[in-house]
Each structure stands twice: as C-alpha cells, then as structure tokens.
Structure 1
Amino acid sequence: MRQTVDKQAIARAFGRAARCYNHYAELQRRSGEQLAFYARRQTGQKVLDAGCGSGWFSQRWRRAGNHVTALDLSAEMLMQARSQHCADHYEIGDIEALPFTEPRFDLCWSNLAVQWCSDLSLAMTELRRVTLPGGQVLFSTLAAGSLNELHSAWHALDLPAPVNRFLSVESINEAGQSLRAQLYPQTLTLGFPDVLSALRSLKGIGATHLHQGRSGTVLSRRQLQHLALYWPRDSRGFLLSYHLVYGVIDCE
C-alpha cells in the first residue's frame, strides 16, 4: 500500500494550478458535497480541512458556523485560500505528518487529497490522532479503475496514459481496517466537449503530476485527432470516469 511520492513535486504541481483550480474543480465539489452527507454535525465544530486546496470546502464549513483550520502541502494553494478568507487558521503541512501534537478537532476532513500520500494507512492514522473523542474523520479518495477512458484512448497511441495508478478498493479497506473505517463507493462520470477540454480539466486541478516522472511527450495535432477517435463518449461528450471511495471513521 506504499508508493514512492515526491511531496515537493506534488506541491509544485498544485501550486501551478492554484489560480485556476476552482474553474476546473467540478469533481472536487461534487465529491465534497457527497462526503459532507456523512458528517454527523454540520455546525459548531473545530474542523481541519486537510489538503484544502484553494479552500472551497474550508469556506463552506466556515460559513456553516464552524472554526476551520486549512492545511495544505502547497504554499500557493494556501495563499489562494487565505486571499478568499476561507478559514480561521492556515497551516502548511503534510497529512502523513500533521503539525499538531494532540487531538484538537471535532472533524478531520480530507476531500480528494489522500491519494497523493505515500502511505494511506499512515494518513488515516494521523487524521485519527488529531481528532477529539466523539469526533469524525471523513475522507474521499480515488480507486483503481478511475480514468479508464484516458487509459483506453492512450492505448490506441501505444503510449502509457499520463495518469497515476490508484489503490484498489480492497487495499483502501485494508489500510483503514484497524481504524474501523467504513467505506462507501461511488462512480462519477464527467463529460467534456472535446479531448483538449478533458485533458485541461486534469491539468487545471494539478492532477498531471506523475509519481514516476514526466513522460516528456507533447502530443501533435494528429495524435490528438487519433485520441478523439478512440476516446469513449456519449451524449455528454468525451468522458472521464472517477471511482470514488468515501471513508468514515468514528472516533470514540
């Protein structure tokens, strides 16, 4: 369940996307709204938004009447969140080594961030460690099979798809077993008017960082046209499917 992760490279990738992130973050918003469904309380809590990005859900929790600490690996993302007054406090930090010495939050929330961790079990344990008795850890992540349309289209070019592999649902379940994490799967499929729009949606949320390093491949117009021939689509357009897993840990 461990993977080799360059945290600084990830921070740089998301930093480059900070200004345009909200424009492309439909998946994050839809995932977060579903994740919020599992919260026992919606107001009056001390909330940690771990991997806050540009602060969309930090702001949501704050406006609902919570005291919010926004944490992210990327200084640029935190600057974006701060510029919008999304939280009460801001911390640069790593979910796998949270900068808090004791439990202090009623809700530790992490929407589509833990898939960037090197050890999912450690990330869950850290979120649980800083959660007060009676509180909750809520997280969402991506599972194996996500972006299968991208893999399918790239296979037609005889090139590896420029996307990371994700843990299986079974591996995610194993990572959270000792914490008695309850998992809830969902598949979301987004449609785009053309291939470039689909690719830009990934770049716009910083998701183009590859753990194995950049491929260096720049697609020609002809290759883009070839991708369009093989990219799965329907009435919604060119498709990108995400296999989401929502995790709930109740802290006694």
Structure 2
Amino acid sequence: MLEQLPVVPDKRRVAASFSRSAGSYDAVASLQRQVGAQLLARLPHLTSPRWLDLGCGTGHFTRLLAERFGADSGAALDLAEGMLHHARPRGGARHFIVGDAEALPLRDASLDLIYSSLAVQWCGDFAAVLGEAQRVLRPGGVLAFSSLCAGTLGELRDSWRAVDGFTHVNRFRAFRDYETLCAESGLEVSTLERRAQTLHFTDLRALTRSLKDLGAHNLNPGRPDGLTSPARIRALAAAYERLRTPEGLPATYQVVYAVLNKRL
C-alpha cells in the first residue's frame, strides 16, 4: 500500500517560494549541484536526443545538458516563473517554459530524454508525473530523475520534536512508494536507488538560512503561524547541538536516483 503524503504543499506556494529565491539559490545549492552531477553521470549514451530539463531552476543543469546534447534540441521547464526569468538570459535551451510536471504542455512522443533533478518531490501526484513522462517520451526514451524521500532532514525534524508538535520540516513520500509507483508506471526501471548525503553546518542559523535562500524552507500546511519565539529557537538549537559531530551540525538528505526507459 502506498504511503501517501498526508498534506502536500500548495503548488502556488512552492512556485512563489522558489521564484523569490532565484537570486540567492545558486550561492547555497551545493547539495543540488552534487546530486544533479551524479544524475548526469547516470545517463545512458544518447545520440542527438530531444531533451527536457524538468524543474530546471536557475538553469545550471540546462546549460550542462546543452554542452552534452546541444541547446537547439533542448527545452527547460519550471513551475516557478522567477526561476525561468533567472535562467533564460543565460541560455542553454531553445525553449524556456512555465509548466507543471503533472500536466506537461508538450506533444505526445516528442522527447528522447527527460532529466529532472530535485524537483519532483514537490509533486503531490507522482503517478501523474510518470504518466506524463510515458506520454511525451518516444519509444526508447529515458526519464532520469533525482528526488528526496522520507527521512530527509531527520536531524532537524527530531530536534523540533523536542520543542513543539508543529510541522517544521518538509515531508516527502517514502522510498517504497517510489519503488511501487515506478514499477506500475509502464516504464522499464533501469536503476532506482536511495543514497544518504549529509551536509554539515557551523550552527543552526547557517542551516536555516541555507534552506531559506534555496526556497526550500517549511512549505507544509500545519506549520506554525507567525515568527518563532526566541525561547523556542534556543530550545531547538540546544536539541540540535546534541547531534554535533567534529564536522559540524549534520543535515542528512535521503536522495532517490532513478533511470527509467520507455519500452520500444
């Protein structure tokens, strides 16, 4: 049985948050760069594909895909218009499109490759994302995605639980749900794996500032209203300090990597 996300962040809220963070995103996107590069390394050999960077953000990987496959055969799509305004002047694709991964504004069988790094975790209906990939890919086409699953930022979640009962950390679907949905998608699963990747921060402020600058701070319904009191921040910092390592305060991301193929 699928473990559905209890409540999914509103898409408009997600788009607005990332739009506001377009200018600060690249400076704090070290994990995003690492994950995207590892996803690029997992791509099979393709000859002159028509490709899409799905959830392109500021266009960093759009430009790397263009170097590899050519810009004229590529498109970049994101739900956040602010990100596209930031990406478009830098080039890398023939088309920059505002769009939703759950309802792609693209023709059937129009692509050979969909690359999507750390975007689809914001989609409430991942079965629809896979269905759209199945629709727009040509036979033999490839969907390569990375995402986040349950357990991400577990240190921060556990530290908040010592303070109050509100939802402070974004919730993501379980890895077993990715396994089930990919298996049922009609696409052939070439690889699907989960890997933990841990960043370290000097203090709590550095971590929360990084999440805010990424646009990936708490977007869930059920989050507390208003500003967090100084007393609760001190309690959170004290709880998190108990997890400190020689490298700093750990923040672990549970990353999903997948490569799926449309059958010939």
What is the TM-score of this pair, normalised by structure 2?
0.89
Structure-2 residue corresponding to 1:191: 200
Is 227-236 or 18-27 further displaced after alignment? 227-236
1:205 partnered with 2:214? yes
Q: Contact 1:49–1:110 (CA<8 Å) still a contact in 2?
A: yes
1:241 partnered with 2:247? no
Cα deviation for residue 97 of structure 1 reads 0.1
Q: Distance in 2 between matches of 1:75 and 1:213?
A: 26
Structure-2 residue corresponding to 1:8: 12
What amino acid does structure 2 have at the position aligned with 1:140?
S
Cα deviation for residue 213 of structure 1 reads 5.3
Listed as ranges, the matches of 1:1-252 within 5 Å are 1=4, 3-41=7-45, 44-66=48-70, 67-178=73-184, 179-181=187-189, 182-212=191-221, 214-231=223-240, 232-252=243-263
Q: Contact 1:151–1:160 (CA<8 Å) still a contact in 2?
A: no
Deviations, residues 203-244 of structure 1 (Å, cap 9, x unaligned): 111112523154224234443333222212212211110011
Q: Contact 2:55–2:117 (CA<8 Å) still a contact in 1?
A: yes
| SS of 1:136 mapped into structure 2 | strand
Percent identity of paired positions between Structure 1 and Structure 2: 37
Q: Distance in 1 between matches of 2:84 and 2:46?
A: 23
Q: Distance in 2 between matches of 1:88 and 1:100?
A: 14
Q: Distance in 2 between matches of 1:65 and 1:180?
A: 23
What amino acid does structure 2 have at the position aligned with 1:234?
T
Q: Contact 1:47–1:68 (CA<8 Å) still a contact in 2?
A: yes
| SS of 1:248 mapped into structure 2 | strand
What amino acid does structure 2 have at the position aligned with 1:75?
E
Cα deviation for residue 184 of structure 1 reads 1.2
Q: Contact 1:81–1:87 (CA<8 Å) still a contact in 2?
A: no
Cα deviation for residue 28 of structure 1 reads 1.0
Cα deviation for residue 100 of structure 1 reads 0.8
What amino acid does structure 1 have at the position aligned with 2:178?
I
Q: Distance in 2 between matches of 1:83 and 1:39?
A: 26
Is 15-24 or 213-222 further displaced after alignment? 213-222
Is 115-124 or 156-165 further displaced after alignment? 156-165
Q: Are residues 148 and 84 of structure 1, via their aligned partners in 2, closer, same or farther at CA, if it must alter by over 3 Å?
A: same
What is the TM-score of this pair, normalised by structure 1?
0.93
| SS of 1:58 mapped into structure 2 | helix
Structure 2 unaligned spans of 5+: none
Q: Contact 2:102–2:128 (CA<8 Å) still a contact in 1?
A: yes
Cα deviation for residue 159 of structure 1 reads 4.1
Is 161-170 or 138-147 further displaced after alignment? 161-170
| SS of 2:69 mapped into structure 1 | coil
What amino acid does structure 1 have at the position aligned with 2:258?
G
Structure 1 unaligned spans of 5+: none
The aligned length equals 252
Cα deviation for residue 250 of structure 1 reads 1.2
Deviations, residues 83-137 of structure 1 (Å, cap 9, x unaligned): 2223221000000000012122211011111111111111112122211222210
| SS of 1:20 mapped into structure 2 | helix
